[in-house]
Amino acid sequence: MPLQRSEEWMRERADHLKEGVRQMFEAGGKAMTAAETLTLVDTLERLGVDNHFRQEIDMALARVHSEELECDSSSSHIHIVSLRFRLLRQHGLWVSADVFDKLKDDTGDFSESLVTDDPRNLLSLYNAAHLAAAGEETLDEAISFSRGHLEAMKGELRSPLAEQVSRALEIPLPRFPKRLETMRYIA
């Protein structure tokens, strides 16, 4: 009997938590920013529980897709622009690679100011750029730029970021098996 009650309690708890996430999505249309919505979707996908929220995720991404995202070269925007690009493309919503042109300097190269104290920004850019369609030179340049800087920083990074960077340089996130990413994200 105790095992049966425990299983029942876990199911009730899981249902309660799923309902909480659904409420976040419902309120998100009014209260959450695009950055918060994208972060929530990314977290759910990396945890491997996105299948429970497919409809909510699709609606949230459609809303984010229809909104214009202000882009500048500040470090917080690099991550959000890259995350938006990656998630929308992964879900079959077209986003132009031109969003990354705003991250270039006057010479047409990616600005060295993008190399900040937080390598997560470059990691996001690197992963997003791997969703390039044929002929998108900006994304090819983004891969070269971010890869070079990530490789240069790799020896200075601490765990778990060092492992994330090493793994991404070996196999970028969009090409990494989802189940393995879930296991590593949780660990």
Predicted confidence (pLDDT) per residue in 23-34, tens digit: 999 886 677 889
* % of the chain with per-residue pLDDT over 70: 92
- Cβ-based neighbours of 184, under 8 Å, separated by 6 or more: 163, 167
What is the reported pTM? 0.88
Indicate whether 117 pLDDT > 80: no
Per-residue pLDDT, 186: 85
pLDDT at 84 over 90: yes
Q: The dihedral of CA 134, 138, 140, 142: what is its sign?
A: negative
Q: Which amino acid is at 162?
A: A
Q: What are the pLDDT digits (tens) for 160-171? A: 889 999 999 999
> d(Cα 139, Cα 13) in Å, to the nearest integer?
43
- Give me the DSSP letters along 33-93: -HHHHHHHHHHHHHHT-GGGGHHHHHHHHHHHHHS-----SSHHHHHHHHHHHHHHHHTT-
Report the pLDDT value the prediction gives residue 148, as an integer from 0 to 100. Answer: 94
pLDDT bucket at 70, cuts 50 / 70 / 90: low
110 forms beta bridges with 104
- The first and second tokens of residue 36, run together, are 């918060």
SS3 content of the chain, % helix, strand, coil (to 5): 75, 0, 25
Quote the pLDDT of residue 180: 85
Domains of the chain in sequence order: 1-67 (no CATH), 73-187 (1.50.10.130)
Task: With beta carbons less than 8 A apart as the criterion, state whether 161 and 120 touch.
Answer: yes
> Which tens digits make up the pLDDT trace of 122-163?
999 999 999 999 999 999 999 999 999 999 998 899 988 899
Mean pLDDT of 17-24: 93
